[in-house]
Structure 1
């Protein structure tokens, strides 16, 4: 299974409309991949809190339409990162979108853990209520977003639901980049899953982004890592490696608490 992570630059000198078109073109360039991943809140910027309300979209809004077309054009499963979703009742959510190679919205995940400590996302957005997995032909995806990475309970729930590949789009700040790489590897090791952690590059709302997107195998080995700038990582994954790792080192069967 070939996976491509698009570490998209998010800067204030590019409009959401222009970035949407550029992201779609980058997705189309990934023909031949099976799964393509974009970062968290790339249309607006994860720290552009003052733009959340004005830039919110319904699930059939312009970003979803552009990503549906791009997924279909490239013939890929597309985890389109996340958008600020405006629900039918007016509530706002940080919502990840997964499109099939036919361009259908196959799954959505509303971020459960909202960052901000009583500011920003934590007070502006609603909280997701449930973990989400989705089966692809070669693997089962478990969906999480950015700050979720700090909460291992979510990933235990995803493993219990059958997840074999964890997809984590993010807008992680550079000042905590060491936490990003450490926690991504920890989630891979404890879950015995592949981890596809796709962050943003650039600077927006005065916050420099960490970049350093990662592809990590079920043993915790880093297969690919980006730098700070916009970059695309493409890695061939062996879906059978998850089952082999769990069989050769069956730590998950020794769980006692939380079952």
Structure 2
């Protein structure tokens, strides 16, 4: 009898977030599931790891699948899952479903995607799922067939080495799936300066997402038109096109 695929599930919103609970339920239909996720919200942690303090790992009791709550970041969760929890190499790592979009430049800050990237670095096919709804009570029901289909296709087809998938899901009324590029966008940020009751200044980061891209082949365009977007993301950050121009600089005879 063939062994079921082993699927590692993680996220950045925390092990109790509705998004990961839904994702676990979907993945149980596909394979053997093990969950290692943060014990508290770790949004926008990017690829941070814990090096200046200890990590704790608690096995959650009375769960249908093995679940572990980690005190660290999403990337810590993947690292400790591979090193200490799993008894064999996972066939797939799924991260999410994030409460809120991780399209365009948001992929840089996303703990959801960084967990997937960490798995990809280890040569494990990986995908991050995000829903265009920041509400804790978001409805994920309509995403089930799309999440399941994409995960099944990754297991069946594989992903090119050095690539992970960034999947963003519309809030409602999904029309289909589009394979896209990342939109060129940015955050116009500001800091709300306030004064504590003790007279100490503090700041709240705020900002507005601005899409500078008019292309119809981007993840932002797909979401705006109610399509699931799939963006292949590479974690080799080398700008190969810039190597040759820099080799022409005068870098000899440095005093």
Normalised by the length of structure 1, the TM-score is 0.32
Of Structure 1 and Structure 2, which has the larger fraction of its residues in helix? 1
Considering only CA atoms, is the larger Rg found in Structure 1 or Structure 2? Answer: 2
Normalised by the length of structure 2, the TM-score is 0.32
